[in-house]
Amino acid sequence: MRTRDASWDPASTAGGGLPRIAYGSGAYVYDTDGNRYLDGSGGPAVFCLGHAHPEVNEAIERQLRRVAHGYRYTFTSDPLEELESLIASACGPALDSMVFVSGGSEAVESALKIALQYHSARGEISRRRFIARRRSWHGNTLGALSVSDFSARRAPFEGALIEASFLSSVNAYRPPAGVAAADVAEVCARELEAEIERLGPAHVAGFIFEPVVGAASGVVPAPPGYARRVREICDRHGVLMLADEVMCGTGRTGTFRALEHDGVVPDVMSIAKGLGGGYVPLGAAVYHRRIAAVLDARDGGPLTGHTFTGHTLACAAGVAVQTIIRRDGLLDHMRARGAALRATLAAELADLEIVGDVRGRGYFIGVEFVADRATRAPFDPELGVAARVGRAAKALGLLIYPIGGNVDGTRGDAVIIAPPFNAREVELEELCASFVQGVRQAQAGLPSGR
């Protein structure tokens, strides 16, 4: 393989700065210049079985030889019904209704619409408001963007977004001011109830949150007890609980539903990314049977969907991906191996002063960088520390997912590591070695007196 130029900035798209991808194989991707990269983040936690898995490719080819898509108002299909059955089985008996879409933003948009339609069907048309959290990301469609706290991505669209309420981020490493880490779950749960009461329960449609916050915060699991308290509060006030599991769900954290870890069932759940493994665009809004009963009785079903809802080829890819994951016991493997992977990374990074926190669940790992370990003060954003780490890792042949602004939207540096569920041991060892070396190089390259 060719030697990579360590000064090249692969994050830049100006002047053709990105390499041109040629092909992928397993955990690796190759560019047209002959460079090989270990895909240590699965893109944005998408490629859960790596690239060019022969069984998935064969399933796609087999379906394509038959028909690409049967339009949903004309036909059902075997792949559609098989995928529905696989998801319902993985979710448990309550979450057995779903709308298939083309990705995560559409899945969240559909979840919001299902919540609004449910309240309308019950005659509670005043329930229009959504509550979300700071440092969360739910997607790029206008509705999903409206409930996202990502200032750089929201700014060009302010004034056209729907009004939403935003609560404190739920982060034990960075608790709200004056709150001890052990009290974060209860304090933040009370904040939700206080906002519902301030608005008036009759005006609140739903609370949307990521059980493990991904792109906006750098893999932040909610502390123990938080999700259960949220469930109690939502039930008490007739507010729907919407779990955005686009990034953290479909097995990424070691259970099909990320909220399984917390022993909680949401009313509506958005999934994508690992659902189809990146082979064909695919997502879904999955909702509780009691919601389905209301929608079916009043409107004949959910009033959301698109031309490509339930796309036959996409569903065939999803069936293949989910069948392999289940057959090969990959979730059980990740639950055990993920903890060891985090422990290895934490141990190897322990002597690096810029590493503040190593966290996550399963094969969903976040590493946060700080200017001062004792105070947890973030770096000056002008230094672009996460981007430096990303560049150093890529120069070593490792792809990770850098994040900026994870503390307050402007300050903060973190990266996401999300290897394929079926990564081989030698590949995980390579990931750890290259990442640690990249962090060391990034730290050494920071200006003195930073």
**130-160 per-position pLDDT tens digit:** 999 999 999 999 999 999 998 888 999 999 9
pLDDT given at position 151: 85
Task: State yes or no: pLDDT of 15 exceeds 80.
Answer: no
pLDDT in tens, 165-202: 999 999 999 999 999 999 999 999 999 999 999 999 99
Calpha distance 66→212 (Å, rounded): 39
pLDDT given at position 424: 98
pLDDT given at position 449: 58
The proportion of the chain whose per-residue pLDDT surpasses 90, expressed as a percent, equals: 94
Angstrom CA distances, 99 to 258, 279, 406, stand at: 19, 19, 31
448 — pLDDT class (breaks 50, 70, 90): confident
pLDDT in tens, 328-363: 999 999 998 999 999 999 999 999 999 999 999 999
Calpha distance 244→266 (Å, rounded): 10
12 — pLDDT class (breaks 50, 70, 90): very low
Enumerate domains of the chain plus CATH numbers.
Answer: 21-39+329-444 (3.90.1150.10), 55-327 (3.40.640.10)
Contact 184, 172 (CB under 8 A): yes
16 — pLDDT class (breaks 50, 70, 90): low
17 — pLDDT class (breaks 50, 70, 90): confident
pLDDT given at position 93: 85
| Least confident span in 12-21, 206-215, 231-240, 274-283 | 12-21
Q: Give the mean pLDDT of the chain.
A: 95
Task: State yes or no: pLDDT of 434 exceeds 50.
Answer: yes
Say what the pTM is.
Answer: 0.95
The arithmetic mean of pLDDT across residues 446-450, rounded, is 76
DSSP 7-66: T--TT--TTS-SPPEEEEEBTEEEETTS-EEEESSHHHHT-TT-B--HHHHHHHHHHHHH
Q: Give CA torsion, residues 210, 211, 216, 220, to 10 deg.
A: 170
CB burial of residue 74 (10 Å; 0-12, 13-18, 19+)? exposed
Nearest to 62 by CA among 368, 365, 312, 270: 312
326, β-bridge pairs: none
Task: State yes or no: pLDDT of 13 exceeds 90.
Answer: no
Looking at the chain, how many residues does it have?
A: 450
pLDDT given at position 94: 94
Calpha distance 313→281 (Å, rounded): 10
317, β-bridge pairs: none
